[in-house]
């Protein structure tokens, strides 16, 4: 994708309406949808890839994280559609980030967008 980080973040904001920005090692203490920019990896002398995570956070008094599966599917679908629009596979993985001391649980959906016209393999 040409246009650099600012254009990429604007595209992500349009895709995930209402997302809140946090630092890559930011502390999340309430339910919601969050975005972090996790860094860059060089691909060539002319391009690099930007790494992002969407965090879906919800509360469960019974430690039931299966209630979030519908939302996780919806978020994954948005990542897949964004990738299809860019002509590349963005999705890397989805993982549960456990929080044993709270009723809050967090899923991280990790994806990479290549900048400067480079393609994901």
Length of the chain: 121
Q: What is the pTM of this model?
A: 0.86
| pLDDT tens, residue by residue, 8-45 | 999 999 999 999 999 866 778 889 999 999 999 998 88
At residue 47 the predicted structure's pLDDT band, cuts being 50, 70 and 90, is confident
User: Is residue 120 predicted with pLDDT exceeding 60?
Assistant: no
Other CB atoms within a 10 A radius of the CB of residue 43 amount to: 17
User: Is residue 94 predicted with pLDDT exceeding 90?
Assistant: yes
At residue 1 the predicted structure's pLDDT band, cuts being 50, 70 and 90, is low
**Average pLDDT of the chain to the nearest whole number:** 87
| Residue 115 near residue 47 (C-beta atoms within 8 A) | yes
């Amino acid at each position: 994708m040409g246009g650099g980080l600012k254009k990429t973040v604007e595209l992500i904001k349009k895709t995930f309406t209402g997302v809140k920005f946090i630092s890559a090692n930011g502390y999340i203490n309430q339910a919601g949808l969050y975005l972090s920019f996790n860094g860059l990896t060089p691909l060539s002398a002319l391009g690099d890839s930007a790494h992002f995570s969407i965090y879906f956070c919800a509360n469960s008094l019974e430690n039931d994280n299966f209630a979030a599966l519908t939302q996780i599917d919806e978020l994954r679908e948005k990542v897949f559609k964004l990738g299809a629009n860019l002509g590349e596979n963005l999705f890397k993985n989805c993982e549960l980030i456990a929080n044993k001391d709270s009723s809050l649980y967090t899923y991280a959906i990790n994806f990479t967008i290549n900048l400067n016209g480079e393609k994901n393999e």
